[in-house]
Amino acid sequence: MLGAIEAGGTKFVCAVGDERGNISERIEIPTTVPSETMAKVFAFFKRYDLEAMGVGSFGPIDVNQDSSTYGYITFTPKIAWRNFPLVQALKGVFPVPIGFNTDVNAAALAEATYGAAKGLDSCLYITVGTGVGAGAVVQGKLLQGWSHPEMGHILVKRHPQDEYPGRCPYHSDCLEGLAAGPAIEGRWNKKGIDLVDHPKVWDLEGYYLAQALMQYILILSPKRIILGGGVMNQKQIFSTIYQYLQDFLNDYVFLPELTEYIVSPGLGNDAGITGSLLLAHHAC
């Protein structure tokens, strides 16, 4: 039995299952403070005889296994979780191998294995929700260097008619600061779900996301791009992204048909937790 945690800024999804992504049981636990959330996490997994665990976590996190703070959530805007030793806390209760990576890298791994990028040796998974994050599979392996990718914080050109200062506490008007869910709410004083019939909202969103995709395409050249997260439930964004991306690239590189190249997650909302099960399997 494998244990999996998709540790999000709003909720922890905990599940048990197998390396094929089959989930036997799952629960959702609100992300409050570590002592409260982790007590519920421990209680759930103590009912099972675990072979290994996998954790896909919000970040930034330390994924360098040679580091003294490997397994930590580091400089997150969620103050209560800053410098929290997540892997160490789990190992103190469950002495099993633990795979640890970002939630978006876990989702990218799942989509490459069982989802929209199945059969391809590279893909890019991007989530646009409370924040903006991206994970990448390159030549069949998760992309990781000194640390994990932080593609949500790249700088983008501001739309000429956008006067919103940006929401990112670190960079103000980076991609996340201009295009994540809280930025939409801050700019328009309504949540995205209440702005469905306002084309200007989604035109602006497409403008920023297409800029980011252009940079990712030129640098990584992924064989498929998968866009998930709560904001991307507004499917009208896709057509705007396709149009702006074509304009920005200006025929400089050849791409497949965009409706087949830039797609929704094949695993839906289960990409992250399925990827965490795969991280557990790999840890074995």
Indicate the SS3 state at residue 2: strand
Query: Which has more confidence, 162 or 9?
Result: 162
**What is this structure's pTM?**
0.93
pLDDT more than 90, % of the chain: 92
The verdict on residue 243 lying in a domain is yes
Which structural domain range is residue 16 located in? 2-103+269-283
Average pLDDT taken over every residue of the chain: 95
Does 275 share its domain with 251?
A: no
Give the residue among 207, 199, 198 at the shortest CA–CA distance from 179: 207
Does 252 share its domain with 125?
A: yes
- Token readout for 48 is 């099972």
**Span 111-120, pLDDT tens digits:** 999 999 999 9
Give the chain's domain count: 2
pLDDT band at 149, cuts 50/70/90? confident
Task: Tell me what pLDDT residue 155 has.
Answer: 97
Question: Whose structure tokens read 């759930």?
Answer: 44
**Span 213-251, pLDDT tens digits:** 999 999 999 999 999 999 999 999 999 999 999 999 999
What is the distance between the alpha carbons of residues 171 and 121, in angstroms, rounded to a whole number?
33
Does 148 share its domain with 32?
A: no
Segments of 145-269 assigned E as strands: 225-228, 262-263
Does 139 share its domain with 240?
A: yes
The distance in angstroms from the start CA to the end CA of the chain is 11
Task: Tell me what pLDDT residue 77 has.
Answer: 82
**Span 30-78, pLDDT tens digits:** 999 999 999 999 999 999 999 999 999 998 999 999 999 999 999 888 8
**Span 174-202, pLDDT tens digits:** 999 999 999 999 999 999 999 999 999 99
Asked if residue 9 has pLDDT above 90, the reply is no
Does 126 share its domain with 255?
A: yes
H-run or E-run covering 277: helix 271-283
Indicate the SS3 state at residue 9: coil
The verdict on residue 110 lying in a domain is no
The verdict on residue 108 lying in a domain is no
pLDDT band at 136, cuts 50/70/90? very high
The verdict on residue 234 lying in a domain is yes
The verdict on residue 19 lying in a domain is yes
Does 259 share its domain with 274?
A: no
Asked if residue 284 has pLDDT above 90, the reply is no
The verdict on residue 111 lying in a domain is no
Does 204 share its domain with 169?
A: yes
What is the distance between the alpha carbons of residues 62 and 100, in angstroms, rounded to a whole number?
9
**Span 100-109, pLDDT tens digits:** 999 999 999 9
Does 66 share its domain with 127?
A: no
Does 96 share its domain with 210?
A: no
- Identify the CATH number of the domain in which residue 125 sits: 3.30.420.40
Task: Output phi, psi for 249, to 5 deg.
Answer: -70, -35
Does 92 share its domain with 127?
A: no
Cβ proximity of 244 and 72 under 8 Å: no
Task: Tell me what pLDDT residue 232 has.
Answer: 96
Does 256 share its domain with 276?
A: no
What is the distance between the alpha carbons of residues 278 and 192, in angstroms, rounded to a whole number?
32
Task: Tell me what pLDDT residue 240 has.
Answer: 97
Does 202 share its domain with 83?
A: no
The verdict on residue 21 lying in a domain is yes
Task: Tell me what pLDDT residue 268 has.
Answer: 94
What is the distance between the alpha carbons of residues 141 and 233, in angstroms, rounded to a whole number?
28
Task: Determine the average pLDDT of the residues in 158-167.
Answer: 95
**Span 254-266, pLDDT tens digits:** 999 999 999 999 9
